[in-house]
Amino acid sequence: MPSTVTRRNLELAGLAVPLVEVTGSHDGPLLTVIAGVHGCEYASMDGVRRWLRELETTDISGRVRAVPVLNVSAFAARTPFVVPEDGKNLNRCFPGDPAGTLAERLAYDAFTQLITGSDAYIDAHCGDMVEALQPFALYEAGPAEDRAHALATAYRLPYVIRQVAGPDRAVSGTSSGAAAAAGIPAITAEAGECGLVQQHAVALHVTGLNSVLEMLGMADPAARSQETRSQPDQTQLSRFLWLRCRDAGWWQPTVGAGGKVTAGQVIGTVSSLDGGELLEEIVAPADGVIIFLTSSPAVAADGLLLGLGAS
């Protein structure tokens, strides 16, 4: 029997956010999926949208709660990284603050109304407007780690990164980090880049989400194609090092996303806008692979250049 699908707007922090709820014909877990925490990450949004349309004709066990575009004001304004009203990165604001600015209130409402109570949580991302990216899934160390690792692996992307607490940790306040802290198995899954709706990246999200349904026992693996039953080639990484520049200037990487680098290798430069002065050589701090890379030459002082995955 097909699942029941309902679509409505949910009011979060005063914004009308599109919510799709899918109820299966059998009992099972509650899976929550959010995309568009960043407003210009279109491949992940479209992956969730296409997957939800497929679910209309699928028999599942349990329930899916999904928001294809959470940061609706950033989407409308085509603003990368931040909520335009307050300039804050929504994925640094979780679990949120009901008395804070719009990003903090949106994080709070999304966390309490969508993420809390879930049996599993997926935050779907891709490289933003100015980010090249190699597909990866990131999971959190912590109490729900084993289940989160299983989710990350099930998403079938080429790199699986374990996010740890401590000095190596790149960022805090992510939605998947807040979910993990609340004991919910959670991942951030990234495929797609540069503000494009690349069909291969959209398909990676659809395949990953279907595979997660099976791993959670919510869908029948027998319905899968032979191609998606094969074991994907995955590399497990335990460090995620984010590199920044010292000065503002013109960023010129010498490697692309997915490129392998060795410790001490020069992987790019920052130079003056007039082209006359080399301001900084950027050196790989460890052997690893470029997971994401700022594709725009324009960088601010202390600007984010790239994320290096290392074992």
Positions touching Zn ion (CB under 5 A) are 38, 41, 125
Q: What are phi and psi of 95, to 5 degrees?
A: -80, 10
C-beta of 209 vs 270, nearer to Zn ion? 209
C-beta of 174 vs 207, nearer to Zn ion? 174
Q: Tell me how far, at minimum, the Cβ of 135 lies from Zn ion, in Å.
A: 13
C-beta of 104 vs 193, nearer to Zn ion? 193
Q: Tell me how far, at minimum, the Cβ of 66 lies from Zn ion, in Å.
A: 17
Residue 302, number of CB atoms within 10 A of its CB: 10
Residue 274, number of CB atoms within 10 A of its CB: 7
Q: Tell me how far, at minimum, the Cβ of 174 lies from Zn ion, in Å.
A: 9
Q: Please give the distance of CA 227 from its chain centroid, rounded to a whole number.
A: 24
Contacts for 30 with CB less than 8 Å, ≥ 6 apart: 62, 63, 64, 65, 117, 118, 119, 120
Q: Tell me how far, at minimum, the Cβ of 47 lies from Zn ion, in Å.
A: 13
Count the alpha carbons within 13 Å of 236 in the hemisphere toward its beta carbon.
7
C-beta of 22 vs 204, nearer to Zn ion? 204
Q: Are 17 and 70 in contact (CB under 8 A)?
A: yes
C-beta of 138 vs 213, nearer to Zn ion? 138
- The CA distance from 311 to 303, in Å, is 24
Q: Tell me how far, at minimum, the Cβ of 132 lies from Zn ion, in Å.
A: 13
Tokens of 100: 């804070």
